[in-house]
């Protein structure tokens, strides 16, 4: 079991830095559930509610127990292969993150490409100036390497926000200094200090600095780098476990040592950024928070580079459930009832679906199949649930009493959608309703999974540059598979093509290629049944890359990479589902540049 700095007699979240021990006895009672822990288990287990959000000051937090949540879904999360989002999709996600109540949104890496710069600028203008009823407006942050061009691009993108931030970084570990940067320690300190000062000189009073690969950096050298950037004007020091190498005890000790040994550390916020290569990102993040970090960098569903990042929902719910009891009163400003919607939105826009056993938001997170567990749940839900599904915005279908079928009307559908966390009105509701009626004519009852598949296929889709009109296929053991496809362009003109292939899907895709006249490669194709039964809805996901693909600069490696685009589709006919997914991916690729220009007033796409 992961160990945390939780029960050490001389170490608590509010311990002054001067009294934190420089070393901890390995035999000290540090286990999360040690025998010496005095835990109180009430009959009704319920996570504590979020407390008041303190005033935002870049380099300090008036409430010593408040933890800022820094979401990097739109930057680090989008670095996942196939996770490319259009500017419109990024804007929608940013709005949901604001609704969720995150403190900082890292909206992207503006120097990566003009598309990314414009996307961050749109988010800064719209989400970065939208003050909610509680007076909250998120900080909008742009990432930059330690060079003037990157910092200029970041400032150009985020300066329109009410609370702009530049986040700049440079590596500090020996392996990075020797093999990647090929620079001396002194050179790196000079660059870091100069670039933080340059960011401040542009008029940005909120500058975050990250020593990349801090987890493997020499401790004394790390203190020197951090001291230099504090003097240069950094307001937040982010400590990344870039390759997910450290264990919770190590990472907690790293944060504690930085807090103890870095001159000027009391004038800045300490942050964490933990990768998940060993599956320890959430544990490391919580250990860092307990040791004194007051900003935690996370992503929705834990998506990100390689094995991903610390998961927002896991970190936030761990603090909400155990913050008061074991973490010295730590709390966040996140409205957890918007977690499920954020999770679904990111999953659909990126095409990175959540595994069923994923903590908090997985399909099985609140499912109980064991007879013993079911018996306990029927008697009292607290026997096997440490949080209520309603806490994260999830409603159980068997609690609603609504069974949807072909005779159900708009009101019943909308009521069920609200229970599932979807607030649809107007055209969106109409589109889903007519798809629902068409499927309900063929299925006796529609499950929640069926309904959510239809929503994904209607609502979470890129702008329709092309839309499917009609499709006809012929296949089998007699003769070649053929497909005739009718697509409708954005101008309303119908285009028809026919092709043969090794199967009906291959034939249909080749017919589509004839119409759109763009060469693409299919990198991934997968299909799964949404529910059980022969009449189940099929959900398809594809990932494509164009021959003349959009390129961007990778934030960490600096390499030029080809963007890949994912698409999803759903339908009771597996070929129709496959075609919808392919057209969705093409629309995202075609719309990627188009949607970089969004009207600040309306978020409508402009040509």
Check which CATH number belongs to the domain holding 534 and give it.
3.30.160.270
List, in order, residues 6 or more apart from 444 with CB less than 8 Å away: 405
Helix axes 339-350, 312-326, angle to 10 degrees: 150
Shared domain for 132 and 270, answered yes or no, is yes
Whether residue 40 is contained in a domain is answered as no
The token pair at 407 is: 């005779």
Whether residue 8 is contained in a domain is answered as no
pLDDT per residue over 147-183, tens digit each? 999 999 999 999 999 999 999 999 999 999 999 999 9
pLDDT per residue over 184-235, tens digit each? 999 999 999 999 999 999 999 999 999 999 999 999 999 999 999 999 999 9
Asked if 113 contacts 143 with a C-beta cutoff of 8 angstroms, the reply is no
The token pair at 220 is: 């004394």
The token pair at 197 is: 């000062």
The label of the residue with tokens 């890496």 reads 109
List, in order, residues 6 or more apart from 197 with CB less than 8 Å away: 232, 233
Among 508, 518, 517, residue whose Cα is nearest residue 571: 508
Shared domain for 202 and 97, answered yes or no, is yes
The label of the residue with tokens 């509701």 reads 429
Asked if 315 contacts 280 with a C-beta cutoff of 8 angstroms, the reply is no
Tell the burial category of 539 from Cβ atoms under 10 Å away from its Cβ (0-12, 13-18, 19+): buried
Whether residue 93 is contained in a domain is answered as yes
Q: Are strands 494-501 and 520-529 parallel, antiparallel or unpaired?
A: unpaired
% of the chain residues with pLDDT over 90 = 58
Shared domain for 451 and 470, answered yes or no, is no
Please say if the pLDDT value at position 379 is more than 60: no
Shared domain for 271 and 331, answered yes or no, is yes
Domain extent, residue 235, equals: 63-350
Per residue, what are the HEC states of 174-233?
HHHHHHHHCCCHHHHHHHHHHHHHHHHHCCCCCEEEEEECHHHCCHHHHHHHHHHHHHHC
Please say if the pLDDT value at position 363 is more than 50: yes
- pLDDT at residue 44, as a whole number: 38
Domain C-terminal end among 458, 475, 497: 458
Q: How many domains does the chain have?
A: 3
Whether residue 4 is contained in a domain is answered as no
pLDDT per residue over 318-345, tens digit each? 999 999 989 999 999 999 999 999 999 9
Whether residue 245 is contained in a domain is answered as yes
Please say if the pLDDT value at position 257 is more than 70: yes
Shared domain for 129 and 265, answered yes or no, is yes
List, in order, residues 6 or more apart from 412 with CB less than 8 Å away: 402, 404
Shared domain for 153 and 267, answered yes or no, is yes
- pLDDT at residue 425, as a whole number: 80
Helix axes 339-350, 448-458, angle to 10 degrees: 60
pLDDT per residue over 540-550, tens digit each? 999 999 877 67
Torsions phi, psi for 418 (to 5 deg): -60, -40
Asked if 583 contacts 466 with a C-beta cutoff of 8 angstroms, the reply is yes
Domain C-terminal end among 326, 350, 374: 350
Shared domain for 503 and 429, answered yes or no, is no
Please say if the pLDDT value at position 404 is more than 90: no
E strand residue ranges, 444-493: 466-474, 481-489
pTM: 0.81
% of the chain residues with pLDDT over 70 = 84
Q: DSSP characters for 327-395?
A: STT-B----GGGHHHHHHHHHHHH--PPPTT-TTTSTTTT---SHHHHHHHHH-GGGT-SS-GGGGT--
Average model confidence (pLDDT) across the chain = 84
The token pair at 428 is: 């969106």
Shared domain for 449 and 566, answered yes or no, is no
- pLDDT at residue 402, as a whole number: 57
């Amino acid at each position: 079991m992961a160990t945390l700095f939780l029960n050490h007699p001389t170490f608590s979240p509010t311990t002054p830095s001067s009294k934190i021990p420089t070393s901890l006895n390995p035999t000290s009672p540090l286990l999360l559930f040690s025998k010496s822990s005095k835990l109180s288990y009430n009959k009704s287990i319920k996570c504590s509610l979020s407390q008041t959000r303190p005033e935002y000051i870049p380099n300090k937090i008036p409430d010593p127990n408040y933890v800022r949540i820094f979401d990097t879904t739109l930057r680090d999360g989008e670095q996942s292969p196939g996770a490319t989002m259009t500017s419109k999709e990024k804007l929608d996600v940013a709005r949901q993150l604001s609704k969720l109540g995150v403190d900082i949104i890292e909206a992207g890496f503006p120097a990566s490409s003009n598309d990314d710069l414009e996307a961050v600028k749109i988010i800064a203008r719209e989400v970065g100036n939208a003050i909610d009823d509680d007076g909250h407006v998120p900080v909008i942050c742009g990432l930059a390497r330690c060079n003037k061009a990157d910092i200029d691009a970041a400032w150009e993108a985020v300066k329109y926000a009410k609370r702009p931030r530049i986040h700049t970084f440079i590596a500090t570990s020996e392996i990075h200094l020797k093999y990647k940067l090929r620079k001396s320690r002194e050179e790196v300190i000079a660059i870091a200090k100069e670039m933080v000062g340059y960011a401040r000189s542009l008029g940005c009073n909120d500058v975050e600095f990250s020593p990349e690969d801090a987890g493997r950096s020499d401790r004394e050298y790390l203190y020197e780098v951090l001291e230099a950037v504090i003097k240069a004007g950094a307001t937040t020091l982010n400590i990344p476990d870039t390759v997910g190498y450290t264990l919770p005890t190590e990472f907690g000790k790293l944060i504690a040592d930085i807090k103890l040994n870095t001159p000027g550390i009391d004038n800045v916020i300490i942050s964490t950024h933990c990768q998940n290569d060993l599956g320890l990102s959430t544990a490391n993040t919580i250990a860092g928070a307990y040791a004194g970090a007051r900003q935690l960098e996370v992503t929705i569903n834990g998506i990100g580079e390689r094995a991903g990042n610390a998961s927002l929902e896991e970190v936030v719910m761990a603090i909400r459930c155990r913050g008061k009891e074991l973490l010295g009163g730590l709390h966040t400003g996140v409205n957890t009832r918007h977690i499920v919607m954020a999770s679904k939105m990111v999953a659909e826009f990126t095409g990175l679906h959540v595994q069923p056993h994923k903590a908090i938001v997985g399909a099985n997170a609140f499912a109980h199949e064991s007879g013993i567990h079911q018996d306990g749940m029927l008697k009292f839900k607290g026997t096997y649930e440490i949080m209520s599904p309603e806490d994260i915005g999830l409603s159980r279908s068997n609690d609603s009493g609504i069974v949807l079928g072909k005779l159900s009307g708009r009101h019943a559908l909308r009521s069920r959608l609200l229970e599932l966390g979807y607030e649809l009105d107007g055209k969106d509701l109409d589109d889903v309703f007519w798809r629902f009626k068409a499927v309900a004519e063929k299925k006796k009852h529609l499950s929640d999974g069926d309904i959510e598949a239809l929503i994904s296929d209607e609502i979470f889709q890129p702008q329709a540059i092309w839309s499917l009109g009609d499709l006809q296929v012929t296949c089998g053991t007699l003769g070649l598979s053929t497909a005739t496809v009718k697509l409708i362009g954005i101008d309303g003109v119908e285009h028809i093509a026919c092709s043969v292939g090794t199967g009906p899907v291959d034939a249909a895709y080749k017919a589509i290629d004839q119409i759109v006249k763009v060469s693409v490669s299919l990198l991934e194709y997968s299909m799964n049944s949404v529910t059980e039964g022969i009449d189940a809805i099929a959900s398809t996901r594809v990932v494509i890359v164009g021959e003349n693909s959009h390129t961007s600069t990778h934030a960490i490696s600096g390499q030029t990479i080809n963007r890949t685009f994912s698409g999803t589709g759903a339908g009771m006919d597996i070929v129709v589902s496959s075609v919808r997914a392919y057209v969705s991916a093409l629309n995202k690729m075609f719309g990627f540049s188009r949607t970089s220009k969004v009207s600040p007033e309306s978020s409508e796409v402009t040509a």
